[in-house]
Amino acid sequence: MARKVLTAQDLESIAAGGEIVVPLDTIVTHLANELAKSRGITIRLEDPKPAGAEPAFAAPSRTIAIGSDHGGFDLKEELKGYLGTWGYTVLDQGTTSREAVDYPDFAEAVANAVVRGDASRGIVIDSAGIGSSIAANKVPGARAALCYDRATARNSREHNDANILSLGARLIASEVAREILAAWLETPFAGGRHQKRVDKIIAIEKRHLKS
């Protein structure tokens, strides 16, 4: 059976300050989390554990998950410093050295952290950024965008509501990466006509989900 996906559209009928209960394995999209927070809606996961167990999450708006392979390690460490200076909490998903590793492992870890709500957005880095973006986008609920300048960073947020930024450490200078990251973090989703298109992306994903 395909896992349920809770989207922003599913919350439209929920009154402000209300609550919605969903199955434990439900995928809660980033847009649904943002809408729930803005309207004070509690998303509660059904849990077979005894009463008193931890309720549903709301994605920490100032927590950023970040991960890289060995090719992106140095840039990851540099960007972590900027994120801390800018007031973000960093959730480092590895790797921890320049020793050769496989980028899909770390891209998936970042995407999982974002989709679970442990972080509001994520950053994945490898030598070119392509492989990590492909891997991250295999996780339902992830929208990873490979960006190479401030214009693509802003576009990915304004038009696509990208929740994961992918960077190629060997294709852009570290200062350019910093500017891309800053633009990406400060740019809100424009909504409007773009919301319909993002909803269609989510619908495609939902149709192809398998148990």
Calculate ∠ Cα 10-33-95, nearest 5°.
Answer: 135
Please tell me whether the peptide bond between 95 and the residue prior to it is cis, using omega within 30 degrees of 0.
Answer: yes
For residue 68, the Cα-to-chain-centroid distance in whole angstroms is: 15
Listed in order, the ranges of the chain carrying CATH 3.40.1400.10 are: 63-186
d(CA 206, CA 115): 14
Residue at 9: amino acid letter: Q
Note the pLDDT of residue 41.
Answer: 85
pTM for the whole structure: 0.72
Per-residue pLDDT of the chain (211 residues; tens, 9 = 90+): 344 677 888 888 888 888 888 776 566 777 777 888 888 888 876 644 444 443 333 345 789 999 999 999 999 999 999 999 888 999 999 999 999 999 999 999 999 999 999 999 999 999 999 999 999 999 999 999 999 999 999 999 999 999 999 999 999 999 999 999 999 999 999 999 999 999 999 999 999 986 5
- Spatial CA neighbour of 129 closest among 92, 172, 162, 97: 172
- Spatial CA neighbour of 6 closest among 23, 113, 55: 23
Note the pLDDT of residue 210.
Answer: 65
Note the pLDDT of residue 70.
Answer: 98
Cβ atoms within 10 Å of 19's Cβ, excluding its own? 14
194 is catalytic: no
* Tokens at 132, concatenated: 């990590």
We find that the CATH architecture of domain 63-186 is: 3-Layer(aba) Sandwich (3.40)
Residue at 181: amino acid letter: L
Identified catalytic residue from 30, 70, 159, 208:
159
d(CA 1, CA 61): 32
Phi/psi of residue 76, nearest 5 degrees? -55, -45
